Amino acid sequence: MYALICMGLSLVVLVALLRFRMRIGRAMLAAAIILAILLGVTPLKLLNTLVAEWQSKPLTQGTPYLFVSLSLLLILVNVFGEIMQEAGIALRLVPAMQGLFRSRRAALAAIPLVMGMLPTPGGIMLSAPMVRQLGDHVGVGRSRQAAINFFFRHQWEPVWPLFPAVPLAQKILGISAISLLSRNILLPVFGITAGIVFLLLAGIPPRQPNAEPHPRPVHALRDFTHAFWPIVLAGFLYTTWNIPPAIGIFIAIFGLFFLHRIPRHCWWPLFKAGIELEFVLLVLAALYFKTNLQAAGAVPQVVQFLGEIHIPPMIIIFILPFLVAFLTGVTMPTVAITFPFLATYIGTGAEAKIGLETLAFSGILCGLLVTPVHLCLALSCTYFETPIGKIIAKLLIPTVVIALAGIIAAICWN
């Protein structure tokens, strides 16, 4: 119970500081420090946790590696956006997207949906420059741009096997991949539908009668390829050879330099323009928050507490993943923490009630979509220059629809 109160107080501090217009990175760092004090996580205890993590996990799963790789990725994506402006790619991207999809709404959703298949932390920044460029051109408000980019990017997490939470849930419950995916597909179906209705059908200005005509499809495809190939390269290198996306973007940046004949004396100014230290502080704060929970063993305490107060099973199956996802802002650890406990209610192997697993995963998604400690949401707040509360407000109804999908699955496939 005490751990749950501490987490709640730290989030209250975060929200209060954001209300006073403190920048998100500094506010999250302050909330993480408060959490460390309340949970009694001393610097020595934090160091011991990091050492134990280094000894028990692969290097690429460690907190220091995540800090470096995420910070580099975010900075290099920002540099990528600067180069797109310098080379004139950004100016051609907007009409290209509209020429390909023939719909401004479809174009806005398609970018994060496609990029959402690349399961990398902070990968939301790969689609953010394109969504912002198109959204500004169409006249969509920045908070709606951020909500669209954030929401549609996360629709594949329950079904795309490259997200480690999917095979992990399958192994914990001992069920086949087809059984899990055939039930969980209900979540992106409901989610994408809700996103279309509540994020795309409203808040998009009408098309101007004197708007420029769309380019021919062949020209649109050419201009789209100019902007999108660096992202495809990063995704290909990551999924094929497990090369970090930051390295893929770095290679693509120099490809853009040479392909578009950008003078060498412009290279460093473009890198310098893309370096935003607030991104680095934000990554540091998010990982510090997570490591404090890990060092104090806080999340298992919350799991145990909820199990002891005799909440009805259906509510526990949804609320427990929701709460852990809300407090940690990450998917795979939420599955690792909660699913072994929930297996008692869901069952395993041939006896598993997979509809209940879908309900549990809907709780994870709902928690991720509305928590201010989710790194992607925090990054969206910074990149799109909009208050985090405005983003979350636009996500509430679509999130409820996803919860409804989980409830339907639990009733129909129980």
DSSP 62: S
**6 falls within a domain:** yes
Helix intervals (H) in 209-312: 217-241, 245-259, 267-274, 277-296, 298-308
**234 falls within a domain:** yes
**209 falls within a domain:** no
d(C-alpha 339, C-alpha 355), whole Å: 14
Per-residue pLDDT reduced to its tens digit, 286-309:
778 778 878 888 767 776 776 677
What confidence score (pLDDT) does residue 154 get? 92
What confidence score (pLDDT) does residue 44 get? 92
Torsion sign, CA atoms 212, 217, 221, 223:
negative
The tokens describing 340, both together, are 């072994």
Of 283, 234, 274, the residue nearest 65 (C-alpha) = 283
Q: Using alpha carbons, list the distances in angstroms from residue 128 to 23, 87, 181, 355, 387.
A: 19, 18, 28, 34, 16
**261 falls within a domain:** yes
**347 falls within a domain:** yes
The phi, psi pair for 320, rounded to 5°, reads -65, -50
**83 falls within a domain:** yes
What confidence score (pLDDT) does residue 393 get? 94
Give the domain extent around 266.
2-204+214-412
What confidence score (pLDDT) does residue 193 get? 96
DSSP 207: P
**111 falls within a domain:** yes
The count of structural domains within the chain is 1
d(C-alpha 138, C-alpha 108), whole Å: 10
Neighbouring C-beta atoms of residue 105, cutoff 10 Å: 16
* Intra-chain end-to-end CA distance of the chain, in Å: 31
Show Cβ contacts of residue 89 under 8 Å, excluding neighbours closer than 6 positions.
83, 223, 226, 227, 256, 260
**132 falls within a domain:** yes
Low-confidence ranges of the chain (pLDDT < 70): 60-61, 90-91, 93-94, 97-98, 102, 118-123, 161-162, 164, 207-217, 227, 235, 238-239, 242, 299, 303, 306-307
pTM for this one?
A: 0.71
